[in-house]
Structure 1
Amino acid sequence: MIDLIPLHFAHHIAGFAADGYVSGVDWLEGLPGLLRGLLDEWELEPVGRSMSGHCSVVVPVRLVGAGRSPVEDHAPGGSTPHAVLKVSWPHPEAATEALALQTWNGHGAVRLLRADPARFALLLERLDTEDLTTRPVDDACAVIGDLLTTLRRPAHPRVPRLADYAARQADELRVAPPVIPRRYLDQAAALARELVTRPPAEERLLHTDLHYANVLAAARAPWLAIDPKPMAGDPAFEVAPALWNRPDELGTGSQVRWSLRRRLEIICEHAGIDEGRARAWTIVREADNAVDAALDPAGRDRVSLAVMIIKAMND
């Protein structure tokens, strides 16, 4: 069973301090038994090498029991239904993932087949491994914008509210150490407060982490979103992850601003999002990212990227 846990993932997650639940080390200690129990209870058989994300292990499985009927995605050339078992390290951002996937019900997102939220375990349809990271960035941004339109649904009442996040950021950024120029921290704090006092025309279920690696190809749709970190609020909050990912393709000098604004323009056009609000939320999110990255001894490049993006959103 231990072979189902990639060694690099175990090493990575072991460094995580508890975030409302359990530390990475303590969770890893029980993970083999947790996987064994889920495979037995849900009548699953591993069929390939496990994969991992930042906080989760993903096991390709075949459904061998009565649970086969809901699965519509089948292995090529065969009739045995296939899926993936995803088990996440318990933390607040993963606590409501199942609620978001239930709300979307496969429309624009991976289909949820079964869930045990108490154990942070999801059984998901199996998608292709191809993502948007190798697609031309303009095309990839168009896909993200289209998906944001498809995913636009009323939010489940139990997902966290963006307004609460913004209120915390307004307070925290105002007193944060000057890891980036003070004027940017003060601007982000003011914007966080202002944006929630000027609510958008609609508040919807947000993915909040829709970047190029979180969109996979599928048989039933060209592209589907995975790995949401749900919130309820302003759709303009959604644009920023596509700006800070694939940073090596932004260019240098004046090209950086053009590249960032081009990405934002494409996504907003396809998703019907107000560009001004998207720029404002990006400033808030990147100030937050910079403060977090500054706590990491290896986070200097990430802080520099945050400053570049904030500058581009202001110019």
Structure 2
Amino acid sequence: MALEPPRRLVTALGETAQDGDDWLEKLPEAAEQAVALRELTVERVHVPGGRSGLVVLVRLADSTPAVLKLVPPRSRPQSERAALAHWDGFGAVRLLEPSAADGALLLERLHRDVSVRSLPEAKALLEAAGTLRRLWVEPPAGHRFETVAERTGRQADAMRASADGEVAPLVEAALAAREELLAGDAEVRLLHGTFRQSKVLQGDRVPWLAVGPDPVVGECAFDLARLVRDRVEDLIASPSGASITRRRVKKLAESLDVDQERLRGWTLFRAVESGVRARRVGREQDAELLLEFAGWL
């Protein structure tokens, strides 16, 4: 069976590809080798799949259903592996293989077509927030995870380089919020890094489990900020979207014992950063939604 990457993955990785990056070209062969190395039986490639890596539904030698995931080196697969190993199935998908020379991830099988996003909005936010809380643990001693300061520092540099007259005021506000947030004291935890409703899938051993972390170490408000803007298209379409957003910030902050102003600040930074990045790669509609949302904060 040819293990070809879905179109969604090809498009997403093409937006961030650099000269000389041939990972996508070599992916089918790498996937075949990963399957053979583990003596797996392939069922199918998950379609449409995610935007960061190839997901293949497989079975182990004993017929146990599992998932084989391959992501490019720039997506830090070893960091994802380390985080999943540390969580050990608590709040997140379970890692079935402690180490792998080829960087592939062998994971327990979840119901990939059922995420908390399929629930009514209020219930979805509740279940997603509960899952996120379980992930916020102390990072392992001697960890090598990226920090919030390091990640947002790179993002801030890219934002400055891309800010034109139209978005400059929002970029300046977002950068100022980041500086203020990093200057303050906050409890440090291991964070999912890219958490949203679609990253919480239905499981068998527990109802909901997180997948696809891009782990980072820092304060919880940074992680929660991405959840605030979930279903942003619905928020923008609502005549009361701005007030709903402010209530959501308050409700999520209170339910997870996070400082409301710090959550608002990180929500602003992350929305502007995502909006500017979307403009940079030509996703104008996404950019407009994100930047309008950011303006409410």
TM-score past 0.5 threshold: yes
Match of 1:246 in 2: 231
Give the counterpart of 1:197 among 183, 202, 205. Answer: 183
Match of 1:133 in 2: 117
Match of 2:29 in 1: 33
Helix, strand or coil: the match of 1:239?
helix
Give the counterpart of 1:107 among 79, 87, 90. Answer: 90
Aligned residues: 293
Task: Judge which range, 216-225 or 161-170, deviates more.
Answer: 161-170
Give the aligned CA root-mean-square deviation in angstroms.
2.4
Cα deviation, 1:126-176, whole Å, max 9, x if unaligned, reads: 011310122111111111211121111112421101012233445554554
With over 3 angstroms needed to count, the CA separation of the structure-2 counterparts of 1:7 and 1:140, relative to structure 1, is closer
Match of 1:76 in 2: none
With over 3 angstroms needed to count, the CA separation of the structure-2 counterparts of 1:144 and 1:183, relative to structure 1, is same
Helix, strand or coil: the match of 2:137?
coil
Match of 1:221 in 2: 206
Give the counterpart of 1:283 among 260, 268, 271. Answer: 268
Task: Judge which range, 129-138 or 262-271, deviates more.
Answer: 262-271
Q: Is 1:243–1:263's contact at 8 Å kept on the other side of the alignment?
A: yes
Q: Compute the displacement of 1:9 (Å).
A: 4.5
Structure 1 unaligned regions, length at least 5? 69-79
The structure having more radius of gyration, on CA atoms, is: 1
Instruction: Write the distance in 2 (CA, Å) between the matches of 1:212 and 1:85.
Output: 22
For normalisation by structure 1, the TM-score amounts to: 0.84
Give the counterpart of 2:80 among 79, 94, 97. Answer: 97
Helix, strand or coil: the match of 2:128?
helix
Helix, strand or coil: the match of 1:107?
coil
Q: Is 2:116–2:128's contact at 8 Å kept on the other side of the alignment?
A: no
Helix, strand or coil: the match of 1:83?
strand
Match of 1:5 in 2: 4
Cα deviation, 1:218-256, whole Å, max 9, x if unaligned, reads: 111111000001100011011232233322321546511
Match of 2:284 in 1: 300
Match of 2:126 in 1: 142
Instruction: Write the distance in 2 (CA, Å) between the matches of 1:194 and 1:14.
Output: 33
Q: Is 1:169–1:189's contact at 8 Å kept on the other side of the alignment?
A: no
Instruction: Write the distance in 2 (CA, Å) between the matches of 1:91 and 1:266.
Output: 35
Task: Judge which range, 265-274 or 145-154, deviates more.
Answer: 265-274
Q: Is 2:9–2:50's contact at 8 Å kept on the other side of the alignment?
A: no
Letter in 2 for 1:57: L
Letter in 2 for 1:132: V
Q: Is 2:52–2:75's contact at 8 Å kept on the other side of the alignment?
A: no
Instruction: Write the distance in 1 (CA, Å) between the matches of 2:105 and 2:296.
Output: 39
Give the counterpart of 2:39 among 28, 39, 43. Answer: 43
Helix, strand or coil: the match of 1:165?
helix
